[in-house]
Structure 1
Amino acid sequence: MGHPTVPLIYTYAHSQRKKDKSSRLDPYPPNDNLNNALGAIRVLGLELIEDELKPHLNTVLTNIKERNKGAAEQVVISGILPILALSLRTRGPLTVLTAKLVAELAKESVIRKGFGDSGLCTALLSVMTSPDQEVLFHAARAISRTSYDSSKLQELLLRRGAVPRLVAILLRFPDEEALEEVCLQALCNVSGMGVAEEAGMVWERGASVRPGESVFHGVSPHTCGFASSVILVCVSQWAPGQYAVKIEVFQRCSSSFWSLHGNRQGAGWFRFSTLGSCSNLYKVIKFSTKNVPRTKSLRTRVFHSLL
């Protein structure tokens, strides 16, 4: 009766955390530096003062890149995602750092689930007309990671014009390999391909057969060594601001594979799928061919876009 049981329990738990960080009472020990940085961003975020915010953004970036235990959960609880979206839309001195941070945050599934509601998806798209290639690189990487395994975010990005923006970057910077590769990866993931960065996809330009057409090949070797997935991306611009995108997946089998199966004709190819499903093909083309006359049927518009 009258004993301060609650304070005693709290004191005991608090002391146990100090003694043993792996205690079951606290599976994710708080990171004071990260907590302080998140709190500062939340308080100072609306003012977007570079000198004050930059070190805090860097602290969050370091914790996420090092995948410190519990860091992703702390970011989610902090509620800073709308502030990061505001920073991107402002296009101020913090844009590059913010885009880089958002790209790292997008690696964490628990964080990227909130990208749609926080406005980060549309904010990323808003910076994709920037002349700064570093901003474009990080924004495209963030979009690729965001759309990797979420049909909801894929649909949002498609409706907001992700495909024309990514294609426009491909056409604006044909000699920038790193930027080209991340945009192609983003195109595949927005379309529902689910191409993981860990797949080791290697991209190269192919020969085009039509004026205004760009062809890209992406090869992802299989660990068994007998076959590899090959993605073919065809991009055509047939009017200012209007693009057709065709993505196909093939399976390439090596000569070793065919030899094991009694075929001595050497390496062979066969089509594996087209965008994973026909519905995705329609979806990508539909949202990447704006300003087509409404009098045409969807079937005619799709056919015309593939000419």
Structure 2
Amino acid sequence: MDRRTADHPLPCTAKADSFGAALDAISVTTELVDEELKPHLDTLLTVAVEKKRGLAEQVVESGILPVLAQALRRKSSLTVHTARLLAELAREAPVRDSCFETGIISALLTLLLSKDEDLLLHVSRAIGRICYDSNLQQERLLRLGAVPRLVAVLLQHLENNTLLSSCLLALCNLADMGEQDDSKFVWEKSGHFDAGEQVFHGTSQHSFGFVSAVTVVRLNQWSPGQYSVSVEALQRCSTLLWGARNGRQTGWRLPHLGCCPKFYKVIKYSVKNIPKNRSLKAAVFHTFL
């Protein structure tokens, strides 16, 4: 039996065998031939979607992450496939912790310059999951320019609700105020409160509908091509529970600060001069502290 399979058994023997074989085949790959890689990626994706126990540890131990990073950089017919696989693998902490050293993060950020909406969806999901609940990965992604690229994607695809939601959640996770899974949020665009401002409300419903977390993302345009991003995490209770005793409060405010420890934060970066050609060199952000 394969060593990785023995250490972290998968429920089905046949599936475990094919999974181990796929890891072995990818790990020894010297030339990335699409036709040879695709069935192995399909096998890994099937297991990743099913969230089998021990998958993340086996993937990291196998050494395939640098190969997947290389596959992303090639921008071949397998790019979307590989990005989707990484978005699923990034749900697990062992994989997230290995993404920077293996080149996954830099490869994903480069792909945010794509025009393929399917690819952008998987890439933005992967980025949002990688930085979820990890200050180290958040800081790395901020330094590498994740904010301006995500905002550029968001602004160019406002009509694609699924992609919009994924980009907004990634921005929230970069501010350490999001969720791992974008399916928990329902986003609404609040329109323009004034010239150059766009506001998005994301609501996450909790048990019995009594309490919901509300996240507000604001994009403020200073001048052509220059934006700032702010994120607020609020919490609102059912008006039946606290509306009477907090008559002057609205549903979007906390009755007291102790209800929500992470109630407010600003991403202190500007999205500066995002060019129409989306040059890698120009797509950077600057602090305005």
The bucket for the TM-score relative to the shorter chain is 0.7 to 0.9
Q: Hey, what's the Cα distance between the residues in 1 that align with 2:269 and 2:230?
A: 11
Conservation of the 8 A alpha-carbon contact between 2:226 and 2:270: no
Structure 1 residue runs without a partner (length 5+) = 1-13, 15-20, 292-296, 303-307
CA 264–199 in structure 1, closer or farther in 2 if over 3 Å, else same: farther
Structure 2 equivalent of residue 286 of structure 1: 269
Conservation of the 8 A alpha-carbon contact between 1:164 and 1:241: no
Offset of residue 236 of structure 1: 2.4
Letter of the 1:36 counterpart: A
CA 130–32 in structure 1, closer or farther in 2 if over 3 Å, else same: same
The answer to whether the aligner puts 1:41 opposite 2:12 as a matched pair is no
Letter of the 2:109 counterpart: L
Specify which of 74, 78, 81 is matched with residue 62 of structure 2: 78
Aligned residues: 268
Structure 2 equivalent of residue 10 of structure 1: none
Q: Hey, what's the Cα distance between the residues in 2 that align with 1:274 and 1:290?
A: 35
The answer to whether the aligner puts 1:136 opposite 2:117 as a matched pair is no
CA 161–26 in structure 1, closer or farther in 2 if over 3 Å, else same: closer
Q: Hey, what's the Cα distance between the residues in 2 that align with 1:75 and 1:126?
A: 23
- Once the two structures are overlaid, the 10-residue window that deviates more, 225-234 or 86-95, is 225-234
Offset of residue 148 of structure 1: 0.6
Q: Hey, what's the Cα distance between the residues in 2 that align with 1:241 and 1:255?
A: 41
The answer to whether the aligner puts 1:211 opposite 2:195 as a matched pair is yes
SS of corresponding position for 1:185:
helix
The answer to whether the aligner puts 1:276 opposite 2:262 as a matched pair is yes
Q: TM-score, normalised by structure 1?
A: 0.78
SS of corresponding position for 1:247:
strand
Conservation of the 8 A alpha-carbon contact between 1:42 and 1:83: yes
Conservation of the 8 A alpha-carbon contact between 2:111 and 2:120: yes
Q: Hey, what's the Cα distance between the residues in 1 that align with 2:70 and 2:8?
A: 32
Structure 1 equivalent of residue 86 of structure 2: 102
Q: Hey, what's the Cα distance between the residues in 2 that align with 1:221 and 1:55?
A: 39
Structure 2 residue runs without a partner (length 5+) = 275-285
The answer to whether the aligner puts 1:28 opposite 2:9 as a matched pair is yes
Offset of residue 199 of structure 1: 7.5
Q: Hey, what's the Cα distance between the residues in 2 that align with 1:60 and 1:186?
A: 24
CA 286–27 in structure 1, closer or farther in 2 if over 3 Å, else same: closer
More helix by share: 1
Offset of residue 165 of structure 1: 0.7
- Once the two structures are overlaid, the 10-residue window that deviates more, 78-87 or 62-71, is 62-71
Structure 1 equivalent of residue 167 of structure 2: 183
SS of corresponding position for 2:230:
strand
Q: Which has the higher contact order (CA 8 A, sep 6+)?
A: 2
Q: Hey, what's the Cα distance between the residues in 1 that align with 2:120 and 2:192?
A: 25
Offset of residue 156 of structure 1: 0.5
Structure 1 equivalent of residue 97 of structure 2: 113
Conservation of the 8 A alpha-carbon contact between 1:192 and 1:275: no
Structure 2 equivalent of residue 90 of structure 1: 74
Offset of residue 288 of structure 1: 3.8
Structure 2 equivalent of residue 244 of structure 1: 228
Conservation of the 8 A alpha-carbon contact between 2:228 and 2:270: no
CA 188–77 in structure 1, closer or farther in 2 if over 3 Å, else same: same
Q: Hey, what's the Cα distance between the residues in 2 that align with 1:36 and 1:167?
A: 40
Q: Hey, what's the Cα distance between the residues in 2 that align with 1:122 and 1:27?
A: 29
Q: TM-score, normalised by structure 2?
A: 0.83
Structure 1 equivalent of residue 141 of structure 2: 157
Conservation of the 8 A alpha-carbon contact between 1:247 and 1:274: no
Conservation of the 8 A alpha-carbon contact between 2:191 and 2:199: yes
SS of corresponding position for 1:129:
coil
